[in-house]
Structure 1
């Protein structure tokens, strides 16, 4: 079966109509925007603090909206019908990720505008956003597959949001070097480290290590999500 953009677009259109009726996703959209407004008001020069709205947009908006879209399909028992349609697994996963990707990108642009965040290198920034989007959309799909209802995604996803979106704020509370080193390899931390280097005049070669880690996260997240999809797609 050949890949069909028409089937992907049909899935995207359906999710778009469903999203307009879902008030749950407003939290995922509003939280990073509120933080961006706070960053602008405080005017703190700490790069970790200034980068928080963008990381939250990726984690909360990207993963949570994606999880809600997938969980709603399971809750309404419509995922089975989608699986029995002519659409392939790849078309279903891409089609159900496009809307979340578009919304997340728009939220990131709003956060940049509201917080006054300065983009030094648009190409490198876009590349890192792309790699992180793959990671968080894949994880969001997995969270949705593991949840039985839309509201359950909040319970399952809250630890994920804290660890992946706000862990840098809790680093001063830890003294364990192994734990701190592990936190440094989170995609949000690698993104921030790379952007600090770029802000100091770094180029592509200076952040190749961070890009490799982000790529590993993206590939691993997609593989694990596909495995989870194969096992949980028919579960209620």
Structure 2
């Protein structure tokens, strides 16, 4: 468990610093700074868990790098898939992808938003984060028992 937490902490810190620098350089000002920070924290944990899950099924670093590609494509490409929802109704399910919810949260204007506008995306991202984190911890523990 120490290895899992240690590696995750390093990824978390590097990701947070990179996002903070990018946000500063781009001059982005969120409608709610606390919702923005919470969503970013949840997202970093979520993607770390997804990467851990892919890594647990890989035997080499090359396999891990390749196995994360489809997951990254689905999770980060979901906002583009939503654009196809009018033509292909199956893509409407992507509306609940964490990256789409993050986009919704980032698009909220500084004036005229409600707490509900902030909570829905945060709760969906939180749900994804909790589920993937639990799955990654369970798979990690099973992998340790297999060895």
TM range (shorter): 0.7 to 0.9
Q: Paired residue for 1:137, among 43, 48, 63? A: 48
C-alpha RMSD of matched pairs (Å): 2.2
Paired residues of 1:135 and 1:222 also in contact (CA < 8 A) = yes
Aligned to 2:123: 212
Offset at residue 110 of structure 1 (A):
2.3
Aligned to 2:112: 201
Higher RCO by CA contacts (8 Å cutoff, separation 6 or greater): 2
Paired residues of 1:145 and 1:233 also in contact (CA < 8 A) = no
Partner SS for 1:202: coil
Paired residues of 1:124 and 1:204 also in contact (CA < 8 A) = no
- The whole-number CA distance in structure 1 between the counterparts of 2:95 and 2:130 is 19
Within a 5 Å distance, the mapping from 1:223-234 to structure 2 comes to 223-233=134-144
Structure 2 residue runs without a partner (length 5+): none
Q: What TM-score, normalized to structure 2? A: 0.85
Aligned to 1:184: 95
Paired residues of 2:75 and 2:97 also in contact (CA < 8 A) = yes
Aligned length: 146
Offset at residue 183 of structure 1 (A):
0.6
- The whole-number CA distance in structure 1 between the counterparts of 2:109 and 2:32 is 7
Aligned to 2:18: 107
1:20-66 deviation line (CA, Å, top 9, x unaligned): xxxxxxxxxxxxxxxxxxxxxxxxxxxxxxxxxxxxxxxxxxxxxxx
Aligned to 1:156: 67
Q: What TM-score, normalized to structure 1? A: 0.55
Offset at residue 145 of structure 1 (A):
1.2
Distance 1:165 1:199, change over 3 A: farther
Structure 1 residue runs without a partner (length 5+): 1-88
Paired residues of 2:36 and 2:105 also in contact (CA < 8 A) = no
Instruction: Give 1 or 2 for the bigger CA radius of gyration.
Output: 1
Aligned to 2:8: 97
